Structure 1
Amino acid sequence: MTKKIDALILSAGKSSRMGFTKALVDWHNQKLIQFQIETLLRSGCNNVFIVLGHDKEKIIPYIQKENTKIIYNENYTKGKSSSIIKGINNLNKNTNNLLIIGVDQPRPIKFLKKLLHFHCKNNAMISAPLNNNKRGHPIIFNEKMFPEILKIGKFDDGLRTFFRKNNKIVQTIKINSEWTHIDLNSNENLDKARGLKLI
């Protein structure tokens, strides 16, 4: 891949439904935040930006220093949109494309490589994985979309309004994998995901 793709991990929320900090969940012999950073870099992302808020002091020791940047969102209680906006406003100036992923959305390297390759090959403005005719995560945005994304703070439903307005330019790649829609937002989902193979 010749185009520069950076990643933005959203890890600022309180994880109130889980009862513990998601970034520090034990996941395949390491903390989830470590897995996410390592996997994104190995998949081809140049840099990984991590938006922190709640429990940031506990998470920071598990973040490697190479090719990463920590961004603190002091307004994390205002929701995910505030972290996305904070993240985009603190990217490197040479970030051409951005993959946005929640810390609770781990994906195998093979999965991410397919999505990254697809985005670059098609010069896409927005790329998303597809499984069972339903879009999933993560999503990659071209830098030309950043000004539009920064407007999501004005919408009650954040990115959903953004996608309704820009649905026609979203390009999808079929990735027949349960990982497309995995979100570790409950203990039940966490147990299910731990039973899936990282391929």
Structure 2
Amino acid sequence: MKKGKIASIIVAAGYSSRMGSFKPLLKFGTHTVVETVINTHRNAGVEDIILVVGHRGSEITERLKHSGVVCVVNENYSQGMYSSVVKGVEALDDDIETFFMQPVDIPLVKKHTLELLKNKYHECGTGILYPTFFGKQGHPPLINCKYKHAIVNGDGERGLKRLLESFSHDALCVPVLDEAILMDMDTQEDYEKLLSYFHRGAPSRKECYAILNHYNVPDHIVKHCIKVARISMDILNNLKGSGYELDDAALEAAALLHDVVRREKNHAQAGAMILKEIGYGYVGHIISTHTDIEVDEHEKITENEILYLADKLSKEDQFMSLEERLQQCLTVYSDDLEALRKIKKRYDAAEKIMKKIKKIPGKGFMYG
């Protein structure tokens, strides 16, 4: 085994008393909570995973007996979470250089977040890295093994967080694009919120703004994206009750992020790739066609078409009719025949989408 490996310690030893149900074995889709956390770390390239169990530990270990995860039993789990942290740290192999410390009840941290922390660690070599979302510190920290001794010999009275604060000179906060680093699961209400977040399949509004910030999108482009999102949602809401099952969350996120790299060549495809890498492939798919699209006049309206049309109806952060925008573009590019051909093709596509909406019985089109 090579020196310098990264491991993950997942703590799942508590009583789940406030939840009323056993948290590690609750479900997100087809996987239990503990499987969800393990899968995320595995998908982020972490091979060495230690799972600390205690209360109802045999149920967890039986379920994971073929998973390759090292299950460590904390017989003293009633003494609190710190005792489980110590058990996990003691189980680390000597060739582990650094490790994630992940409570099982913060279950929806994304693969992209773990990868970002790993990359930042290799880049800066700082001993403790904390993920942050809009300045709020979350989980999991990435901790160098030089602090193993301090953790194992700590009194535990202040918990791991307070102990690590003693080493703030060797710590770094890493902004991430992932609100889930702050989303714990202590109560049934928390679980319901996490289920909703899990099923949305798109970044939240806050996460969209974090992505825009991360890519240093200028204010005027952000304002344009917000305007496009509002028009997109107006169109979508107008279609409700007409037999359409459109993805509100994915469309809004795609609209907010469609110009995240507007200043790059082929920015629609580049933006789509960014969203795919973060873990939102369908949002990326919607973004990928916002500059050029093929419209089937006989098929139902799609999220892609709504975003495409909304973008053409927005001049920066102001509404502008298709006719006005077309005339502006034709004037600006009057001496460029190839540009004029592309402009005409794009506005023909927008007109086709608008006509499709107008044909829907009782709906019309609120933007002219």
In the superposition, the TM-score normalised over structure 1's length comes to: 0.92
The one-letter code matched in structure 2 to 1:21 is F
Cα deviations by residue, 1:29-73 (Å, 9 ceiling, x for unpaired): 211111111111110112110001000121112215354211000
Kindly report which structure 2 residues correspond to 1:18-97, keeping only aligned pairs within 5 A, or say none: 18-63=19-64, 65-97=66-98
RMSD: 1.7
The one-letter code matched in structure 2 to 1:116 is K
Question: Is 1:166 the counterpart of 2:167 in the alignment?
Answer: yes
Q: Distance in 2 between matches of 1:123 and 1:35?
A: 29
Deviation of residue 183 (structure 1)? 0.8
Check whether the contact 1:128–1:171 (CA below 8 A) recurs between aligned residues.
yes
Q: Distance in 1 between matches of 2:82 and 2:60?
A: 21
Report which stretch shifted further, 176-185 or 67-76: 176-185
The one-letter code matched in structure 2 to 1:123 is G
Question: How many residues are matched?
Answer: 197
Other-structure match for 1:118: 120
Other-structure match for 1:136: 138
Q: Distance in 1 between matches of 2:39 and 2:161?
A: 29
Question: CA 1:125–1:67 in 2, change beyond 3 Å: closer, same or farther?
Answer: farther
Deviation of residue 164 (structure 1)? 2.7
Other-structure match for 1:102: 103
Q: Structure 1 stretches of 5 or more lacking a match? A: none
Q: Distance in 2 between matches of 1:40 and 1:64?
A: 18
Check whether the contact 2:53–2:74 (CA below 8 A) recurs between aligned residues.
yes
Q: Distance in 1 between matches of 2:59 and 2:16?
A: 14
Other-structure match for 2:230: none
Q: Distance in 2 between matches of 1:53 and 1:80?
A: 10
Q: Distance in 2 between matches of 1:46 and 1:122?
A: 22
Other-structure match for 2:151: 149
Deviation of residue 122 (structure 1)? 1.5
In the superposition, the TM-score normalised over structure 2's length comes to: 0.51
Q: Secondary structure at the match of 1:20?
A: coil
Q: Between the two proteins, what is the percent identity of the paired residues?
A: 25
Greater relative contact order (CA < 8 Å, ≥ 6 in sequence) = 1
Q: Secondary structure at the match of 2:96?
A: coil
Q: Larger C-alpha radius of gyration, 1 or 2?
A: 2
Q: Structure 2 stretches of 5 or more lacking a match? A: 203-278, 280-368
